Amino acid sequence: MKAENLTLWLDDRLGIGAIAQLARKKEIPIHRHSIWYYFGGMTLFLFSVQVGTGILLLLYYRPSAETAFESVQFIVTEVQFGWLIRSVHSWSANLMILTLFIHMFSVYFMRSYRRPREVTWLSGVLLLLLAVGFGFSGYLLPWNKLAFFATKVGTEIAGVVPLVGRPMLRFLRGGEDVTGATLTRFFGFHVAVLPAITTVIIGIHLALVQKHGMSVPPYLEGDIPYSSESAKSSS
């Protein structure tokens, strides 16, 4: 009875019932291309893995030019299961980029960006750019030779953009060259700025998917069955 009272108290103040009702309404069209709908959820799952493993790595990582490399080696060699956590973080990042690209291409080729889902598509494109930003900023954090020279080349590419290239290069590097200031800046992007923005955009993206549902390719519209579980949950 106390649990019911607590639920009613929270529902009265936070509107949890309305949120739960919205979350239960999800219709998934079943057709020969249904497999492509899985990749959005796979990407979200891999992002959750990134958050979890990233928090664990953050407990031991030290973001300075003097200690970054040694802290990564300490995680891999001394921390119990540290090598596993770092490997999962690295491989899930690569898989997340892969599933995200597949998801975006499937949305494009199935023309799921059509009205009224234009904003859903734009938020997805923004999430793709943010994921690339995660990969680029995180690549420098081990602070080894490969990471150093890859970041140097990557920021030089940004530096050749007309008009804004040089200011952008200095902004990314925290100066003219890749130094400890660049490492600290990329660390801030990777663990604070990008996660905060991404969390907001993911929330908007998921809310829009719930609101408008999943699109059906134009050449399959009009005669598409839906899964029985989703039909039951939306009734």
User: What pLDDT digit, counting tens, does each position of 18-49 carry?
Assistant: 777 766 766 777 777 778 889 999 999 999 99
| Residues 205 and 120 sit within 8 Å (Cβ to Cβ) | yes
**CB-CB contact of 89 with 134 (8 Å):** no
Structure tokens at 194: 């990008």
pLDDT digits (tens, 9 = 90+) for 140-188: 999 999 999 999 999 999 999 998 999 999 999 999 999 999 999 999 9
CA distance 32 to 1: 47
Give yes or no for residue 87 having a pLDDT over 60: yes
What superfamily would CATH give domain 34-211? Cytochrome Bc1 Complex; Chain C (1.20.810.10)
Mean pLDDT of 202-224: 81
